[in-house]
């Protein structure tokens, strides 16, 4: 027998409850538009009605290839009302990878901006299962298709010629909002989010309704103290789990407001927060680095932001950023598969750590043989839930990968870290990013933190390259703060004062910018694939001798 709690802990039920409670109070800002709790729920009803008219039912998948826009939010809740599943696709993808995700997810329908049609045309031609395509106007009337020549009407007609039904968004939601609701419970799939796939094909992470609900609770109850008078700034894309947990759903469960920004802009960031009166900002470490690289101003602390919600960063770095901008950084440890099982609390945090384990989870640190290690000893982070449906259900149609990730009934994160004597988790590195040099294990994360502390370095990416002596040598790619320039010898001297000799990079390459994902994460695998290039400086061949 289905318990009432199982029906309550679903996302559209939460929206309906908050719409009844808050009515016309503002829930979401987007540019010069405001949407109340009630309006978002009503638009979700119209989406559900439109979907149902197109034959979408419980369990069906709908691919969403959209820039940040309010329609994505309406879509998610409309799909939830039917028990259908959103498949958000990273808008940077194209070609074979895009086709793979659309096909592998078994999507039956797609919603996209018109300026992505050209790149999606070949994918749609090869996937007969997608029967309907709903189009939205781009962010500006002058948006052009990728070809620079085609127009929306022409490409739309070509897609229609493939046997697809093509609708404009306005027509899609032109209805009375009536639909036949599905019986949705907490264990039902809510969303399939694809991982980056840096070591193979992307994996579709199936997230249940309760994972999103529980993550919102976890952030709101005593962790961040978000209340009805708060406003959350979010410029992370909505195909990223962090944006849902820390912005949309956190605001929803707290009765707060959130601002949906189309894309992150360092030059506009502080003005946006002032404009909307944001007290919280959803970020990742890369964004914080970019903001910190700007020239100091006398009014740096003149902003309404109290809390930055982001990933782990070293203590000295966080303290300097907090003092400069008058904010506090609340770090946590999480992943798409697990949400955020380890969180710092505003009233009980340790700067430079990921926080303590939430009571809903069990966490242990093990060595390469799977044996638990002592405190202050690095090892792989293994996690499992205490309560049901608070982590992923599976990797979609990848049973072997799912079993491998959950071997021994623990989720193997592939991340290394350790617990200190106070029970705080210190992240050290991705397990695959640990560099093995002449018998020594070197954390690329620790090394990056040191190099990033140089005032002229914007950011650095450290990785291992094959050594002629066996194992690996250390290589770093660096981007400078705009207008600054230093030499490899300068970086080497800086490192000599701050780290062991065996950690100092042999190879250095200076680049204008590091390759990144749309959520500003460095794509280290691309740098590793390029390896030692013609423009790479080699310390050993240069004759630079390290001090003893």
Question: What pLDDT is stored for residue 476 in this prediction?
Answer: 97
Question: What pLDDT is stored for residue 202 in this prediction?
Answer: 86
CATH superfamily of 434-542: ANL, C-terminal domain (3.30.300.30)
SS3 at position 306: coil
Question: What pLDDT is stored for residue 290 in this prediction?
Answer: 85
Question: What pLDDT is stored for residue 224 in this prediction?
Answer: 85
Question: What pLDDT is stored for residue 23 in this prediction?
Answer: 98
Same-fold call for 4-185 versus 208-394+404-430: yes
Q: Are 98 and 202 in contact (CB under 8 A)?
A: no
- DSSP tag of 289: H
CA 419 from chain centre, in angstroms, equals 24
Query: Whole-model pTM?
Result: 0.85
- DSSP tag of 433: G
Question: What pLDDT is stored for residue 139 in this prediction?
Answer: 56
Taking every pair of Cα atoms in the chain, the longest distance, rounded to a whole number of angstroms, is: 77
Q: May I ask the CATH class of domain 4-185?
A: alpha beta
Q: Which mean pLDDT values do the consecutive 10-residue runs of the chain (548 residues) have?
A: 80 98 98 98 99 98 98 98 97 87 97 91 92 83 39 69 89 97 97 77 95 94 88 96 96 98 95 98 87 91 94 79 94 94 91 94 96 96 97 97 96 95 92 81 85 92 88 93 88 90 93 84 89 94 79
Q: What is the DSSP string of 343-370?
A: E-BTTB--TTS-BEE-TTEEEEEE-TTS
Question: What pLDDT is stored for residue 88 in this prediction?
Answer: 97
Domain boundaries, the chain: 4-185, 208-394+404-430, 434-542
User: What is the spatial distance between Cα 58 and Cα 78, in angstroms, rounded to a whole number?
Assistant: 12
CATH architecture group of domain 208-394+404-430? 3-Layer(aba) Sandwich (3.40)
Sequence-distant (≥ 6) Cβ neighbours of residue 208 within 8 angstroms: 186, 187, 188, 189, 190, 389, 392, 393
Q: ∠329-333-338 over CA atoms, to 5°?
A: 140
């Amino acid at each position: 027998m289905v318990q009432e709690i199982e029906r309550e802990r679903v996302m559209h039920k939460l929206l309906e409850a908050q719409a009844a409670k808050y009515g016309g109070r503002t829930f979401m800002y987007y540019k010069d538009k405001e949407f109340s709790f009630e309006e978002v729920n009503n638009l979700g009803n119209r989406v559900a009605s439109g979907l149902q008219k197109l034959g979408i039912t419980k369990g069906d998948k709908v691919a969403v290839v959209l820039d940040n826009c309010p329609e994505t939010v309406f879509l998610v809740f409309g799909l939830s009302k039917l028990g259908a599943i959103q498949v958000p696709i990273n808008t940077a993808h194209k070609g074979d990878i895009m086709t793979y995700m659309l096909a592998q997810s078994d999507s039956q329908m797609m919603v996209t901006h018109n300026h992505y049609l050209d790149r999606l045309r070949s994918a749609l031609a090869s996937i007969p299962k997608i029967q309907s395509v709903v189009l939205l106007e781009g962010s500006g009337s002058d948006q052009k298709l990728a070809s620079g020549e085609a127009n929306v009407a022409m490409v739309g007609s070509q897609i229609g010629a493939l046997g697809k039904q093509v609708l404009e968004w306005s027509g899609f939601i032109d209805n009375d909002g009536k639909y036949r609701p599905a019986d949705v419970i907490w264990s039902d799939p809510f969303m399939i989010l694809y991982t980056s796939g840096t070591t193979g094909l992307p994996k579709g992470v199936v997230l249940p309704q309760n994972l999103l609900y529980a993550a919102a609770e976890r952030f709101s109850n005593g962790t961040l103290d978000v209340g009805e008078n708060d406003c959350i700034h979010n410029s992370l894309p909505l195909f990223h789990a962090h944006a849902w947990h820390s912005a949309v759903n956190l605001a929803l469960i707290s009765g707060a407001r959130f601002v949906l920004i189309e894309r992150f802009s360092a030059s506009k960031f502080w003005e946006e927060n002032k404009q909307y009166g944001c007290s919280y900002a959803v970020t990742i470490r890369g964004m914080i680095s970019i903001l910190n690289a700007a020239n100091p101003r006398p009014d740096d602390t003149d902003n309404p932001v109290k809390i930055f919600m982001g990933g782990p960063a070293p203590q000295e770095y966080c303290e300097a950023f907090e003092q400069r901008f008058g904010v506090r950084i609340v770090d946590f440890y999480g992943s798409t598969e697990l949400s955020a099982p380890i969180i710092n609390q505003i009233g009980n945090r340790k700067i430079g750590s990921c926080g303590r384990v939430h009571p809903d989870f069990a966490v242990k640190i093990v060595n390469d043989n799977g044996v638990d290690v002592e405190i202050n000893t690095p090892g792989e982070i293994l996690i499992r839930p205490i309560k049901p449906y608070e982590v992923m259900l599976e990797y979609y149609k990848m049973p072997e990968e799912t079993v491998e990730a959950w071997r021994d009934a623990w989720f193997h994160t592939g991340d290394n870290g350790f617990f200190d004597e106070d029970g705080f988790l210190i992240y050290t590195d991705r397990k695959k990013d640990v560099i093995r040099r002449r018998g020594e294990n070197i954390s690329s994360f620790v090394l990056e933190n040191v190099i990033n502390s140089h005032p002229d370095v914007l950011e650095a990416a450290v990785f291992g390259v094959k050594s002629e002596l066996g194992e690996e040598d250390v290589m770093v790619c660096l981007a400078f703060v705009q207008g600054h320039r230093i030499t490899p010898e300068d970086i080497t001297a800086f490192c000599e004062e701050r780290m062991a000799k065996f950690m100092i990079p042999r190879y250095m390459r200076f680049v204008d910018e590091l390759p990144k994902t749309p959520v500003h994460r460095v794509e280290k695998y691309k740098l590793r694939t390029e390896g030692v290039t013609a423009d790479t400086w080699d310390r050993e061949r240069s004759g630079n001798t390290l001090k003893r």
